[in-house]
Amino acid sequence: MSEELKGYRELPIGGLIVEPGNAVTYRTGTWRTFRPVWHEDKCIHCLFCWVYCPDAAVQVKDGKMTGFDYEHCKGCGICAHECPRDAITMEKE
């Protein structure tokens, strides 16, 4: 995020942003004080954690939960709170 700021001539006109989804380069993971920890043995892959994550930081592949995107996870704890099997616990970062 310590990129050099562009001069006005280098910017697209009209304040446009032409790179869709480039917010992904902004690491909101640094906001955390607690991090979710996945206990795979208890997980039933209901994907509630995935649907309720405000930051799309729960990784899913082929319909199964595979872990967390710690670059972006803000540690809100919703996933742990909603998990029906206590397969996620929040631990101090």
Tell me 47's DSSP state.
-
Alpha-carbon distance values, 69 to 3, 11, 18, 43, 47 (Å): 23, 31, 25, 17, 15
4 is a site residue for another protein (CB under 8 A):
no
Of 2, 22, 41, 92, the residue at the interface with another protein (CB under 8 A) is 22
- Total residues at interface with another protein (CB under 8 A): 49
Alpha-carbon distance values, 1 to 7, 18, 28, 30 (Å): 17, 18, 11, 12
82 is a site residue for another protein (CB under 8 A):
yes
35 is a site residue for another protein (CB under 8 A):
no
Task: Note the residues at the interface with another protein (CB under 8 A).
Answer: 5-9, 11-28, 31-32, 46-47, 50-57, 60, 63, 69, 71-72, 74-78, 80-82, 90
